[in-house]
Each structure stands twice: as structure tokens, then as C-alpha cells.
Structure 1
Amino acid sequence: MGKEISLIAFLDEVVSRNTQHYRKDFELDAQKLRDALNSPYMDERIFYFMSRPNGTWCVLERDVFLRDSDGYKIWTHYADMPDGIEAYRVTITGRRGTAPMGHVVKLNYREQVQRVIKVAIPFDDVELTFYSGEKFRMPMEQYRKQREEIFFEYGAIQNFRCCPKSEAELYRVISMEHRLQKCWQPKTKKGPDTPAR
């Protein structure tokens, strides 16, 4: 997989080279990576990052593959305008002081986003963790309708996690994407062997 690198330093170089406007977006992305160091979930330490000529985005990989989540909407929004996008899968494996360390895989955004659109799965529930310590799961539709009441009753949300019916199916979809990112090709069925002459 290659040696561990300082992720924020690496991505900052990408932004310096590729993003001409709204470079300050990257400050939010860098903080998101620092915050992920405290996540108890490994899948909340894997992100997709894009540098565009006009800004950056950093979204959780799991959300990218959950249709209609914010991460999915952000990642697929540029599918019809991929020119100038540099994209990476960013995996946090540890820290050096407060700096997230890990690995990056360069993505061909033009091809990869089409795979995302094709294989993303729906999600129904959200898991909410509050700064108060409360934690519960509820249907997304219920959350949308009761967002204000929930805030007034439980306070600010510390972590918002989209949950599909099957975590195993989400894991399968993401695992297949990782194989494709390594240039794996699915086997194609061969026709019947023709006899040699």
C-alpha cells in the first residue's frame, strides 16, 4: 500500500497546484480529517477528497455509496463536469502528534463517479450521537420531520451516520470498488472453445 504519509500536507500540495479559487474550503476538509482521528469506526476514517479549480470537498467513502446521502450528492454532482478534478481515496491509519497519517489512492474521477452512480445503495435510517451522550437510530424521514424538536430535546448532534438495511451489502460494494481502483478486471465469460486445426 506504500508508506504512511502526512495526509493534510499531501492534500495541501494538491490544492496549491490544482485549486485556484476558494482554497479556504480545504481548512474545513483538514479539520474533518483531524476530527476523524477520534472516531471509533474505521469506516469513518476513509474519505474521498476532490480538488477542483473552484474549491475542494472531503466526504466519507461510506456516504458516497449511500444514494441520496449528502456525501453521495456532493461526490456525484460533478459527474457531468469532471475536467480539472483531482480525486483521491484517503485512509487515516494513525497520527503523528495532531497530524493524521495514512495512505492515498489517486482516482480517475471521470470513471469512478460513473461506477458510484451505478452501484450506490439506498439507506433508510440515521444514527444520531449527541454531545450529551444520548445515541439512537431512527428513520431518515422521521428525522427530517422532527429535526428541530430533536435539537431542542437532545442538543447538538456530534455524529450523524447514514445506515443502510445491510451493512454487509455496503461493505461488498465498497470492497469491489477498491479492487477496481487497483485496476482489477472482472472475468469475462468466454465463448465455447473452438477446436484447433
Structure 2
Amino acid sequence: MPKQNKFEDVDVTASLEAIMKQNTGFYQSDFDIDREIIAKAVASDSKEGKTLLWFCRPSGTHCFRERDVFLKDTAPHNTWRFYMEQTSDRILAYAIELTGRERGKIKGSLYELDYSRHYERVKEKGLPADTVKLIYERGEQMIPAGQYFSGSPDPQLGKFERFEALPNDPDALKWLLQEEHRSREQLPQGDFKAHIAALHDGLIETEARRIVREMKRNYEPNSPNKTHFMVELSPAFMRLADTKDTDRLFSMLPYKTLSFSKIEGRHGTYALIDKGENRDREIRKPRPSVRAQLKADKTKTAPKKAAAKNKNHDLEV
């Protein structure tokens, strides 16, 4: 499992958009909603309101306050769990801690999350929230969780602004969020450009593994003329990939008779292999580039430099 990193003092929206483009082929417009959520959060008076959880998937993105994700039966909690429990989507997830605005940019830190492990924490540590606070322009109103409300203006309280779930035990939520913060603060500082490159490599490898997995699932040839096994290349992947990416994908698939082709009467592009091809194989690991190999060899053979001598000024007279 690759290690997670943190990326401090970044342009938050630009960084998240770059991440999204390594995974989200459809509904990238979801990110417009995320921008609004982030812009409102950075203006929040509470530290709790400035900490968000965000993820992207092949068909869309989601952004929630961290506190809400850890409150059971809320929409953020249920959504965060749904994509682990009900899909096999590749999910790229991050915690966001906003620090403010600088020259028109929203700044903060991103913390890479292992979505599957984070899901387990949310599932295990989620707290009950049996009350919902309705917030109006001139006051608040409490109702039981699950009770319908229209969001209409109130004669006494004025315009409805928003609502939030309230934990049964506020101190438990406060402690939990502090624990989450302390945990991710231990992550090493990462190189964001290298991170984006690794995510792009992961996009291609994930698609290769999916195709190999799907090839194994078919017991009989499934091409129209029953002479080949075939798997459609993911439409979300194809929206993100260029020619070099599909070439790399081709090189990672372990089949001698492989071809990428259109099928008459069907949309999309398909990976096809002869019906006699051995399908009990795993992907080929991509070879490192010549430049990367030379750099690695140079690092191994380079002589170690002697440590620089420092003056001990305390001993000077």
C-alpha cells in the first residue's frame, strides 16, 4: 500500500482540480459545487468549519465538513460510506484544512487519505446525532433528526439559511476530530507534482487491472462472432486518456493477441483477445523510463559527500 503524504500551503482549489483530472472523467462540473463549499468554509469563524473531507471518483466529486461525515445517518456520513459499500470505483480522498486567502487564492493543507481505511474509521467511530439545528437569519430552531422541514422562511426567525446535525455528545466529537487532526499531522511532506504524476500512473494501472479482472470473468467468448473475449475500455478512462496513455495501457496488458478496436453497432473502444489466449495472467508492470533508470543508477554509484564542518561559535573567543 503506497504511503500517504500531506501537502502544506497549497492553492486548495487548483490542487484539488488537478487531482480530479486524474480520476474523474464525467461530471467534472460537480467541482463547481465544491468550490462554493470551500469558499464558504474558508470564511467560517470556527476551526471546525474550516476542515473538510473531499473525494473524487470516475463520475463526480463530493465535499463535506469533516464533522458531518463522522455523524451517523447524515447525508455526508452515508455518502462517504456508500462508495465503499456499493461500488468498486477508484476513490481519491483528502482531508482539507483551510488557512485563509492569499492574493485571491484559498490556501491550506491537503492530507492524502487511504479511502478504505478512512471508511473503516468513519464506520467504527461515527457518533449519533439525534437533533438537527435549523439556522435562520434571526435565530435557530431545533427539531428531531429525520423530521421533515421545508426550508421556508419563518415568520419570527426570517429567511432559512442552513441546517446542521448536532452530536448527542459534543465533547466526543471534539475529541474525535482532534484525534483525526493529530493523526494526519504525522504524514510526511509530499511533492505535489510527483503526486499528480503518480496518480496518473495509477489511473492507467487501475484500468489495466480492471480489464484483466473482467477478462477472467467471462467463461465463453463474448465478442459478436464468438471468436474473441472482449472488455470495453472504461468510458471515464477514455475521457481522461491521451494516445500515450492508451499505448501504456496496451503495454501493461499481458496478452499476445491483444488489440483495441471499435465494435460495429456499439459505442466505445474494446480490448479484444483471441478465444484461445491464456487469460489467467496478471498485468505487466510498467518498465521505468531510461531516464529514470539512469538517474537511479547514478544515485547508487555516486560517492557520498563528507559532512560539512560547522563552526561551534560557542567556543569562539
Amino acid at match of 1:140: P
Amino acid at match of 2:113: L
Q: RMSD between aligned alpha carbons? A: 2.2
Q: Matched residues in 2 for 1:99 and 1:156: separation?
A: 30
> Using a 3 Å threshold, how does the CA distance of structure 1 residues 109 and 3 change in structure 2: closer, same or farther?
closer
Q: Matched residues in 1 for 2:10 and 2:94: separation?
A: 14
Q: Matched residues in 2 for 1:92 and 1:106: separation?
A: 15
> Using a 3 Å threshold, how does the CA distance of structure 1 residues 127 and 40 change in structure 2: closer, same or farther?
farther
> Using a 3 Å threshold, how does the CA distance of structure 1 residues 93 and 164 change in structure 2: closer, same or farther?
same
Q: Matched residues in 2 for 1:40 and 1:116: separation?
A: 25
Question: In the alignment, does 2:139 pair up with 1:115?
Answer: no
SS at structure 1 position matched to 2:135 = strand
Q: Matched residues in 1 for 2:183 and 2:97: separation?
A: 17
Structure 2 partner of 1:69: 74
Structure 2 partner of 1:190: none
Count residues with an aligned counterpart: 179
SS at structure 1 position matched to 2:84 = coil
SS at structure 2 position matched to 1:79 = helix
Structure 2 partner of 1:140: 144
Corresponding residue to 1:168 among 167, 171, 177? 171
**Offset at residue 180 of structure 1 (A):** 4.1
Q: Looking at CA atoms only, which structure, 1 or 2, has the larger radius of gyration? A: 2
User: Percent sequence identity over matched residues?
Assistant: 27
Structure 2 partner of 1:151: 152
SS at structure 2 position matched to 1:35 = helix
Structure 1 partner of 2:135: 129
Amino acid at match of 1:128: L
Amino acid at match of 1:52: R
Structure 2 partner of 1:188: none
Q: Matched residues in 2 for 1:86 and 1:5: separation?
A: 18
Higher relative contact order (CA 8 A, sep 6+): 1
Q: Matched residues in 1 for 2:128 and 2:152: separation?
A: 25
8 Å contact from structure 1 (residues 36, 45) kept in 2 = yes
Q: Matched residues in 1 for 2:186 and 2:120: separation?
A: 15
8 Å contact from structure 2 (residues 7, 111) kept in 1 = no
Question: In the alignment, does 2:33 pair up with 1:28?
Answer: yes
Q: Matched residues in 1 for 2:184 and 2:68: separation?
A: 18
Deviation larger for 99-108 or 76-85:
76-85
TM-score where L is the length of structure 1: 0.81
> Using a 3 Å threshold, how does the CA distance of structure 1 residues 159 and 40 change in structure 2: closer, same or farther?
farther
Question: In the alignment, does 2:63 pair up with 1:58?
Answer: yes
8 Å contact from structure 2 (residues 94, 110) kept in 1 = yes
Amino acid at match of 1:105: Y
SS at structure 2 position matched to 1:4 = strand
Q: Matched residues in 1 for 2:24 and 2:7: separation?
A: 26
Deviation larger for 157-166 or 117-126:
157-166
Amino acid at match of 1:101: K
8 Å contact from structure 1 (residues 7, 102) kept in 2 = yes
Q: Deviations over 1:29-75 (max 9, x none)?
A: 01110111222221111110001011000011000000011110111
**Offset at residue 101 of structure 1 (A):** 0.8
Gaps of 5+ in 2: 1-5, 188-317
Q: Deviations over 1:96-148 (max 9, x none)?
A: 24432100100000111011101100112222222xx222141334x724x13
